[in-house]
Amino acid sequence: MSLRAFHPNEPSDLYKGCAWYRNIQRAPLYRHYLDIVAITPTGEFAYFCTVWFDDVTRADAFEPVGIEPAQQQRGLSKAVMCEGLR
């Protein structure tokens, strides 16, 4: 599977080559609980996104986002983004 989902509590050896994501985690608005994933019934990651929320402006953004190509057209993007908006 080409898609990876990240979480700050995972062992650091899982992030080789992912220094960019460690930098994201240091950003002032980053909140680990707004990393959202959709998991297949077999336990594989199907979709992920990070939601950025600004308490002052009450604006949000979804970035980065990714979906496993085989999981497209199943409504996962909509479901995960709706969860992020909630």
In a domain, 2, yes or no: no
Indicate whether 6 pLDDT > 70: no
In a domain, 70, yes or no: yes
In a domain, 40, yes or no: yes
Q: For residue 41, give the CATH number of its domain.
A: 3.40.630.30
Number of domains into which the chain is organized: 1
- pLDDT the model gives residue 7: 53
Q: Which long-range contacts (CB under 8 A, 24 or more apart) does 47-54 make?
A: 47/3, 47/71, 47/76, 47/77, 47/80, 48/3, 48/4, 48/5, 48/6, 48/80, 49/80, 49/81, 49/84, 50/24, 51/84, 53/29, 54/29
Residue 41: domain span: 12-85
Report whether 42 contacts 57 (CB < 8 A). no
pTM above 0.85, yes or no: no
In a domain, 28, yes or no: yes
pLDDT tens-digit series, residues 31-48: 988 988 888 888 888 888
